Amino acid sequence: MSENRDWPLYEIFIRARGGLDHKHVGSVHAADARMAIEHARDLYTRRQEGISVWVVRSVDIVASDPAESDALFEPARDKVYRHPTFYDIPKEVETL
Protein backbone atom coordinates (compact mmCIF):
# COMPACT_ATOMS: atom_id res chain seq x y z
CA MET A 1 0.00 0.00 0.00
CA SER A 2 2.61 2.53 1.05
CA GLU A 3 4.93 1.53 -1.77
CA ASN A 4 2.65 2.70 -4.53
CA ARG A 5 0.45 5.56 -3.40
CA ASP A 6 -0.08 7.08 -6.82
CA TRP A 7 -3.29 6.28 -8.62
CA PRO A 8 -2.79 4.46 -11.90
CA LEU A 9 -3.44 6.18 -15.20
CA TYR A 10 -6.53 5.47 -17.29
CA GLU A 11 -7.04 6.38 -20.94
CA ILE A 12 -10.41 7.95 -21.68
CA PHE A 13 -12.55 7.36 -24.74
CA ILE A 14 -15.72 9.36 -25.36
CA ARG A 15 -18.60 8.80 -27.74
CA ALA A 16 -19.83 12.24 -28.78
CA ARG A 17 -23.24 11.03 -29.94
CA GLY A 18 -25.09 7.96 -31.09
CA GLY A 19 -23.64 6.35 -34.19
CA LEU A 20 -20.13 7.75 -33.71
CA ASP A 21 -17.11 5.83 -32.46
CA HIS A 22 -15.56 6.35 -29.07
CA LYS A 23 -12.56 8.61 -29.53
CA HIS A 24 -9.52 8.97 -27.34
CA VAL A 25 -9.66 12.31 -25.51
CA GLY A 26 -7.00 12.08 -22.82
CA SER A 27 -6.25 10.40 -19.52
CA VAL A 28 -6.99 10.66 -15.81
CA HIS A 29 -5.53 9.24 -12.62
CA ALA A 30 -7.95 7.16 -10.57
CA ALA A 31 -7.91 4.44 -7.92
CA ASP A 32 -10.10 2.12 -10.00
CA ALA A 33 -12.31 2.00 -13.06
CA ARG A 34 -15.40 3.41 -11.36
CA MET A 35 -13.48 6.43 -10.13
CA ALA A 36 -11.91 6.80 -13.57
CA ILE A 37 -15.37 7.06 -15.12
CA GLU A 38 -16.37 9.71 -12.59
CA HIS A 39 -13.19 11.67 -13.20
CA ALA A 40 -13.61 11.36 -16.96
CA ARG A 41 -17.18 12.59 -16.65
CA ASP A 42 -16.04 15.57 -14.58
CA LEU A 43 -13.06 16.44 -16.79
CA TYR A 44 -14.14 15.61 -20.30
CA THR A 45 -17.93 15.94 -20.50
CA ARG A 46 -18.43 19.33 -18.85
CA ARG A 47 -19.53 20.91 -22.10
CA GLN A 48 -21.79 18.14 -23.38
CA GLU A 49 -18.93 16.45 -25.21
CA GLY A 50 -20.25 12.96 -24.77
CA ILE A 51 -22.96 10.43 -24.11
CA SER A 52 -20.77 7.44 -23.30
CA VAL A 53 -17.38 6.92 -21.67
CA TRP A 54 -14.91 4.06 -21.91
CA VAL A 55 -11.94 3.86 -19.57
CA VAL A 56 -8.95 1.56 -20.04
CA ARG A 57 -5.92 1.15 -17.80
CA SER A 58 -3.06 2.77 -19.70
CA VAL A 59 -0.81 -0.19 -18.93
CA ASP A 60 -3.31 -2.49 -20.68
CA ILE A 61 -2.87 -0.73 -23.99
CA VAL A 62 -0.34 -2.48 -26.19
CA ALA A 63 1.20 -0.08 -28.67
CA SER A 64 3.20 -0.68 -31.81
CA ASP A 65 6.91 0.03 -31.52
CA PRO A 66 7.89 3.31 -33.20
CA ALA A 67 11.24 1.71 -34.10
CA GLU A 68 9.35 -0.79 -36.23
CA SER A 69 7.25 1.77 -38.05
CA ASP A 70 9.22 1.36 -41.27
CA ALA A 71 8.52 -2.34 -41.34
CA LEU A 72 4.92 -1.94 -40.30
CA PHE A 73 3.78 1.02 -42.34
CA GLU A 74 6.22 1.77 -45.16
CA PRO A 75 5.18 -1.15 -47.40
CA ALA A 76 1.74 0.40 -47.82
CA ARG A 77 3.12 3.60 -49.26
CA ASP A 78 3.54 2.44 -52.89
CA LYS A 79 0.29 0.51 -53.05
CA VAL A 80 -2.05 3.28 -54.04
CA TYR A 81 -4.21 0.75 -55.85
CA ARG A 82 -5.55 -0.23 -52.45
CA HIS A 83 -7.45 3.04 -52.36
CA PRO A 84 -10.81 2.68 -54.10
CA THR A 85 -10.11 5.73 -56.29
CA PHE A 86 -9.79 4.01 -59.66
CA TYR A 87 -13.41 3.24 -60.23
CA ASP A 88 -15.84 5.23 -62.33
CA ILE A 89 -18.92 5.74 -60.29
CA PRO A 90 -22.22 5.52 -62.19
CA LYS A 91 -24.27 8.70 -61.97
CA GLU A 92 -27.21 6.75 -60.58
CA VAL A 93 -25.26 5.94 -57.42
CA GLU A 94 -25.89 8.86 -55.17
CA THR A 95 -24.38 7.94 -51.84
CA LEU A 96 -21.08 6.15 -51.92
Partner 1 sequence: MNAAAGNSDAPQGDSRLRYVLRIADTSLVLAQRLGAWVGHAPAIEEDLGLANTALDLLGQARLFLSYAGELEGRGRSEDDLAFLRDEPDILNATLAEMPNGDFGDTIVRQFLVDAYQVELYERLAASTDARLAEIAAKAVKEARYHVRYSASWLVRLGDGTDESHARVQSSLDRLWPYTQEFFDADEVDRAAAADGAGPDLAELRAAWSSRVDAVLAEATLARPRDLAYRWYGKQGRHSEHLGHLLSEMQYLQRSHPGAGW
Catalog residues that contact partner 1 under the rule CB under 8 A.
Answer: 1, 7, 28-31, 34-35, 38-39, 41-43, 46
Question: Smallest distance, Å, CB 41 to partner 1?
Answer: 8
- Give the closest residue to 29 by CA, choosing from 53, 48, 52, 12: 12
Other Cβ atoms within 10 Å of 10 Cβ, number:
25
Q: Of the two residues 4 and 85, which places its CB atom closer to partner 1 in the complex?
A: 4
Pick 29 or 64: Cβ nearer partner 1: 29
Q: Judged by CB, which is closer to partner 1: 33, or 71? A: 33
Minimum distance, C-beta of residue 14 to partner 1, in the bound complex (Å)? 15
Smallest distance, partner 1 to C-beta of residue 20, A: 23
**Could you give the CA distance from residue 10 to residue 61 in angstroms, rounded to a whole number?**
10
The H-or-E segment that residue 35 falls in is helix 33-44
Q: How far apart are CA 57 and CA 9, in angstroms?
A: 6
